[in-house]
Amino acid sequence: MKMPADHIREEISQTGAISFARFMELALYCPETGYYEKKKDNVGRQGDFITSVSVGSLFGELLAFQFAGWLDELKNRHEKLQIIEAGAHDGKLAADILNWLQIHRPVLFSAIEYTILEPSPARRQWQQEKLSPFSNVRWRSSVNSSQPPSAGILFSNELLDAFPVQRLGWDASGRQWFEWGVTLDGELLRWSRLPLAASSLPANIVNLPAALLEVLPDQYTIETSPAAESWWHAAAGILSHGKLLAIDYGFTDDEMISPARTKGTLRAYHRHHVTDDVLANPGDQDLTAHVNFSAIQKAGEAAGLRTETFCTQPQFLTRILAKAVPEKLFASMDARQIRQFQTLTHPEHLGRAFRVLVQSR
Ligand SMILES: C[S@@+](CC[C@H](N)C(=O)[O-])C[C@H]1O[C@@H](n2cnc3c(N)ncnc32)[C@H](O)[C@@H]1O
């Protein structure tokens, strides 16, 4: 079977150095052997990294409560409401949300359809196994497939950080930006510099003040994710009414460019160890970078969405909890649920870097 490293070497041999974004795409998603195609237990304590979903079912239950509130507001205007999830991986978050709705909002549960946007046949199969108890789950291959727009909620947890990123580097002596590429040195994968047309620079780089460029060290690096931005724009396009929501770690434009963070935010995870050796063992380690939420927000607004909320995960989840108290939901959390809430919100755990963006139409 052809491994990601074989695909990468073959492509470099044929075309010359490839962009890092192409390297990341092949390492994570090449059919059958890419990191996210070949096994489903890479997320969670037994895998390479944890997410809010793998902390326990509380995260999905709190989202389900919030989604029920939003869907109640939309209910009178539209017949069939949808919850649409992207980046569903093994289907655990979908199961947590559907279980909660079935028990606590049975009427709404039977009125909605839960759709998973899933381009990968392998992942779709894992999800079908996990979600077999539910008859109201559908699949759709991507945001680009031609189907009528949907009303409801389209959401993702840690999807945007998994899109391939472009790595841009600053050439201090030439006073210009280049793109980091990947090439071969014998059998070894090495970084190389690719030319970058000034016209393809993202807005946050173009607008950097000259005084800041003066102090940027040579090879100062920053990531950008045109793939995540165009996905968000397309996702907005399939929503006739409702909310588009992303939960992920990320920065605003201003936070993204910090002279002190000279190597960007790109990193690899393997068995809960973080490394910046992102070219090592393609397909065996996760690759990820912080999301630029300002760019995502602009992509949604360009597709006609209104920004409702941009806040931290602790703020978002605490507000949900506060709304649930009068309904006596989540009122008597047991020790296990309290631990989960702390992990989701504490600044030393998932509360530090995670943000929530909600846009609506
Ligand atoms: C970091 S994992 C997060 C999984 C899960 N949402 C969680 O929070 O535990 C990212 C997931 O997004 C999937 N993914 C990447 N690109 C995608 C796309 N265009 N559409 C749907 N899923 C995608 C990956 O395969 C992977 O399963």
Give the model confidence (pLDDT) of 101-128 as tens digits. Answer: 999 999 999 999 999 999 999 999 999 9
Mutate to test the pocket of ligand 1, among 24, 32, 33, 36 (most ligand atoms within 8 A of CB): 36
Range from 62-66, 206-210, 253-257 that averages highest in pLDDT:
62-66
Residue 48 Cβ < 6 Å to ligand 1: no
What atom of ligand 1 comes closest to residue 231's alpha carbon?
19
Residue 83 Cβ < 6 Å to ligand 1: no
Which tens digit of pLDDT belongs to each residue from 279-330?
999 999 999 999 999 999 999 999 999 999 999 999 999 999 999 988 888 8
Q: What's the gap in Å between 246 CA and the centre of ligand 1?
A: 12
Pick the CATH number of 50-163+226-253+291-360 from 3.40.50.300, 2.60.120.260, 3.80.10.10, 3.40.50.12710: 3.40.50.12710
Residue 119 Cβ < 6 Å to ligand 1: yes
Residue 51 Cβ < 6 Å to ligand 1: yes
Q: Which residues pair with 154 in a beta bridge?
A: 84, 244
Residue 87 Cβ < 6 Å to ligand 1: yes
Model-level pTM?
0.96
What atom of ligand 1 comes closest to residue 117's alpha carbon?
21
Residue 42 Cβ < 6 Å to ligand 1: no
Q: What's the gap in Å between 219 CA and the centre of ligand 1?
A: 30
Residue 151 Cβ < 6 Å to ligand 1: no
Which tens digit of pLDDT belongs to each residue from 184-211?
999 899 999 999 988 889 988 988 999 9
